[in-house]
Amino acid sequence: MSHTLEEVRTYALQLTDDERGQLADELFDSIRSDEDRYLESAYSAEIQRRIAEIDAGTADVVDSDEAIADAKRALEHARQNSSRR
């Protein structure tokens, strides 16, 4: 028995928030490519590595206010250089 998209949507919207979230996750997973899965795994491994460095005190960390100020200075510098051309 085949259901139309509208029938499935109507039923799905009657689910609880948690059930809709679970369904959305499962539907999303069903269309992800192997490359998407690999990248997600690689990002997760990198995040875990960085957390371990921070926890061990071996990470070179920068205060967020300092990082934002540096980014703003770099952006302003780039704008000034591009307007001179």
The per-residue pLDDT for 1 is 63
Is the confidence at residue 85, as pLDDT, over 80?
A: no
The per-residue pLDDT for 16 is 97
Among 39, 40, 59, CA closest to 49 = 59
Among 60, 67, 64, CA closest to 75 = 67
Distance CA 32, CA 39 (A): 11
Mean pLDDT of 17-28: 96
**Confidence at 37, pLDDT banded by 50, 70, 90:** confident
Average pLDDT, the chain: 93
The per-residue pLDDT for 67 is 96
pLDDT tens-digit series, residues 38-61: 898 999 999 999 999 999 999 999
Is the confidence at residue 33, as pLDDT, over 80?
A: yes
Contacts of 59 (CB under 8 A, 6+ apart): 50, 53
Is the confidence at residue 21, as pLDDT, over 80?
A: yes
